[in-house]
Structure 1
Amino acid sequence: MSRPFRVPPTLSVSMHGWPRLALAGASRPLGLRHGWALLAYLLCSGRRAARERVATLLWPGADAAKARTRLRRLVYALNAGCGVDLVAGDGESLWIDVDAARIECDVLRAQAQARAQIAPSADDEATDALLAPGAEGLLEGFDVASDAFDEWLAQQRQAHQRLVTHGLQRLAQRSVALGRLELAIDAAERAIALEPHAERGYAELMIALGHRGDAGAVEAAYFRCAGVLREEYGVAPSEIVETAYASAMAMARGSAPGPRSCGGRDPTPVRHARGRDGVRLAYTVSGDGPCLIKAANWLSHLGYDDDSPVWGHMVRALTRGHTFVRYDERGCGLSEWEVEDLSFARWVDDLEAIVDALDAPRFALLGISQGASIAIAYAVRHPGRVSHLVLHGGYARGRLVRSDTPQEREEAETMAKLAELGWGKAEPSFRQFFTSQFIPDGSAQQHEWFNELERVSTSPANAARFMREFALIDVVDLLPRVRCPTLVLHSRDDVRVPVAEGRLIAERIPGARFVNLHSRNHLLLEHEAAWPHWLEEVSAFLAR
């Protein structure tokens, strides 16, 4: 006869502060310090533990046989105190019997929620345990008469606090992107309470306050951070705080226009020019004012960018007050795809062809990502035609130029092969890898749109060709020859192109100004505080 199905009872284990226990909602006093120590060790470890290891941890000075006897008796008393046979074992090890009870542990839940916030694509939106009062304190005030266990517990507390703090910082960051500003502020304040000297907590707090439009609160957060650092370490805030402060104040000042839909607007007319080898190049001209030309960069499509949740805000902003010129590079977008030559030299030639078609005597030049290196090469080739040079997320050295190792070569070729295999497929998982590098903090809608842009903007074969050519770009020797005023902007935590590459450009171009932006995104998004900061800097620079 089969045994009837039994739903295991719920055992609630609280280890924030002094430990507490409840079975099926009823409190169960557990007056066993060593029992709590054993339970904490097994729960935090999450795996089987050798009896000898546990006995040594709890009674380091005891005889081995006596310690094992104590441990055996402790397991019996602990199970009796819990009301279920929670701890199981054999002759060699002990473990938590997950069939005996459904365990709810506040510490483990807080850690799981912190990891979910830190993960690049977190599906779990729960934050109750992470934001719970006392979530930072693992067995705060608890100890046993064992130096070995107390040392283990100190390490666990430190790791727990570090994880929760990181989780709270990411929760604040993600909440801003979702427009949940009060949640972002709460999470940032809790992170600061945990780590008063950790600057990232203050950075996320300022960004959230900037989105709320509270310039006074941004100032107060900045000076609070500066005071703590000065008092504790005698130092000023680092670029982490300074960058966030500049972005937050720009957002609070309302420097960027609010989001608006472009739906229903007539698309910008597309014109065509010819490269030196006859390749058809598509370009558009919009707006009115001084001429600003954007050097082509990979992943553009003139038929989609006006309404894009990734590019649209930049197109709209730069069209106001400028005659803004954009073009799709060869092999991409509305320009000709079937081309023999997809080289850096041809990209510079194509920019020349667009300028010639416009008959623009003098203009400002914008280069984004690999478009920055094209813009640099053009500015050196035509020093009298470029009035201002603006470079964002750029690099003068491709990845195989800055680090040509067997591992780098293999990784670069793997990425190219990945594009050849998965670029054109309807299922976006292959392309999501690249999307997560360009806009890691983008919304689901922005990721979906960018995945689709990748598919429609070029062929799988061309995508691989582009990647291989990008890796070999080298314009380092041209940098000292740039003669026009230059502004270099770069996201501080850019996942796609290291910020050090932007600094290198600024250091080598005479008189160039470098601006660090509070972002992880390679392409700035409209919801970020870094976007109005970028726009302020670029607008002021172009007005000179």
Structure 2
Amino acid sequence: MNPHVRSDDNCHLWVEQSGSGPPLVLCHGGPGMWDYLAPVARLLDDHARTIRWDQRGCGRSQRRGPYSVARFVADLDAVRDQLAGPGMALLGHSWGAHLALRYAIEHPERVSHLIYVSGTGIDPERGWHPHYERNLRQRLGRHLDRWEALGAHARTPAEQRERAVLQWSADFADQDTALRHAQHMATPWLGINEDCNQALNAEVKQELRGSDLIVQCRALDLPVLIIDGAEDIRPRWAVDSLHEALPNSRRLSLAGCGHLPWVENPLDFRQAVTTFLTQHSHQTPSQLHREPANREDPR
């Protein structure tokens, strides 16, 4: 299989497929990181043909811009067009959840299901971030001093990796295993594209302040599963406005896990996602848009 998709502006994007069934495209977080969703693919391989990719400028994809939400939406559409076909299910994690949401808003006829994992919502002021910073420092505990010291000066690649591992360890609820999980995420270390991270974060912040995203979400009548870990250090109330705006969404919080719920609670994560994916599986995306809204909230 060709390990790359070529975007419409000739950027080569690394991709990998596995499993069998209807296509499910996975969007990793960051921005500026690489795909770390292989464990999610393994959980779902018997229910879907999973398609993972490194976003442009990240990981194994070509190191070039431009870095904008519109450009990343177009890249995702190239992945869909060349590997998934006319329609697909979408699963996005963290920043990737926002990317998947934006894609679904712009191309609803090409999306059958949207799975929004550990996203941070659509509140205009992004008021969750001070709470995240406070929770991050608290959960870092004895590693806080080292994390701050590494952030106070220019870092070697080894120090960049060390700081990332410490920061990512706070994304897990069980601190006895958190460092091990974070080390696994950082292996192999493919480097964080800071230019990509800064550009996209700045654009999303501006977008949320000035756009009609809530209005667009109200018009997005396709099935959406909002799923996250109950102990994520990003406050989950930040997602309330998104859930309220979507006419056909379900929300589920998994106990005993943080920002990567499939790592710490894989059985419940798999059951929730596979159950959601099998609903309406016989219908096309355009037919799904005519389904009546479902406002069930198990939380």
Decide: shared fold, TM above 0.5.
Answer: yes
Q: What is the aligned counterpart of 2:248 among 507, 511, 516?
A: 511
1:435 counterpart = 2:168: yes
Contact 1:287 1:322 in 2 (8 A): yes
Q: 2: distance between equivalents of 1:419 and 1:396?
A: 30
Q: 1: distance between equivalents of 2:119 and 2:152?
A: 22
Q: 2: distance between equivalents of 1:468 and 1:331?
A: 17
Q: 1: distance between equivalents of 2:4 and 2:152?
A: 28
Q: Which amino acid is 1:436 matched to?
A: S
Q: 1: distance between equivalents of 2:193 and 2:64?
A: 9
Q: 2: distance between equivalents of 1:419 and 1:330?
A: 28
Q: 1: distance between equivalents of 2:119 and 2:28?
A: 12
Change (3 A) 1:482 1:427: closer
Change (3 A) 1:380 1:419: farther
- State the shift of 1:295 in Å: 2.7
Q: Which residue of structure 1 lines up, in the alignment, with residue 228 of structure 2?
A: 490
Change (3 A) 1:294 1:493: same
Change (3 A) 1:504 1:479: same
User: Per-residue CA shift, 1:231-287, capped at 9, x if unaligned?
Assistant: xxxxxxxxxxxxxxxxxxxxxxxxxxxxxxxxxxxxxx5622222333221112211
- State the shift of 1:422 in Å: 3.4
1:437-516, aligned counterparts within 5 Å? 437-441=170-174, 442-452=177-187, 455-469=189-203, 471-472=205-206, 474=208, 475-495=213-233, 497-516=234-253
- State the shift of 1:509 in Å: 0.4
Q: 2: distance between equivalents of 1:271 and 1:301?
A: 15
Gaps of 5+ in 1: 1-268, 306-310
- State the shift of 1:448 in Å: 2.0
Contact 1:294 1:367 in 2 (8 A): yes
User: Per-residue CA shift, 1:410-455, capped at 9, x if unaligned?
Assistant: 99xxx9x9499337334644223431343353443222233455x4
Contact 2:114 2:223 in 1 (8 A): yes
Q: Which amino acid is 1:515 matched to?
A: L
- State the shift of 1:357 in Å: 1.3
Q: Which amino acid is 1:456 matched to?
A: L
TM-score between the two structures when normalised by the length of structure 2: 0.73
Change (3 A) 1:333 1:360: same
User: Per-residue CA shift, 1:193-220, capped at 9, x if unaligned?
Assistant: xxxxxxxxxxxxxxxxxxxxxxxxxxxx
Q: 2: distance between equivalents of 1:419 and 1:522?
A: 25
SS at match of 1:402: coil
TM-score between the two structures when normalised by the length of structure 1: 0.42
Contact 1:423 1:460 in 2 (8 A): no
Determine which structure has more spread, i.e. the larger CA radius of gyration. 1
Q: 1: distance between equivalents of 2:273 and 2:86?
A: 21
Aligned length: 257
Contact 1:491 1:519 in 2 (8 A): yes
Change (3 A) 1:420 1:361: farther
SS at match of 1:430: helix
Q: 2: distance between equivalents of 1:387 and 1:420?
A: 46
Q: CA RMSD in A?
A: 3.2
SS at match of 1:391: strand
User: Per-residue CA shift, 1:480-499, capped at 9, x if unaligned?
Assistant: 1212111111222211x321
Q: Which residue of structure 2 lines up, in the alignment, with residue 283 of structure 1?
A: 15
Q: Which amino acid is 1:484 matched to?
A: L
1:344 counterpart = 2:79: no
- State the shift of 1:506 in Å: 1.7
SS at match of 2:64: coil
1:161-310, aligned counterparts within 5 Å? 271-298=3-30, 301=34, 305=36
Return structure 1 stretches of 4+ with deviation > 6 angstroms: none
Q: Which amino acid is 2:76 matched to?
A: L
Contact 2:18 2:41 in 1 (8 A): no
1:8-407, aligned counterparts within 5 Å? 271-298=3-30, 301=34, 305=36, 311-339=37-65, 341-358=66-83, 360-397=85-122, 401-403=125-127
Change (3 A) 1:277 1:421: farther
Change (3 A) 1:343 1:362: same
Q: 2: distance between equivalents of 1:387 and 1:519?
A: 29
User: Per-residue CA shift, 1:341-374, capped at 9, x if unaligned?
Assistant: 1111211111111111125122211111111121
Q: 2: distance between equivalents of 1:424 and 1:357?
A: 34
Change (3 A) 1:519 1:470: farther
Q: Which has the higher contact order (CA 8 A, sep 6+)?
A: 2
Change (3 A) 1:435 1:404: closer
Gaps of 5+ in 2: 135-147, 280-299
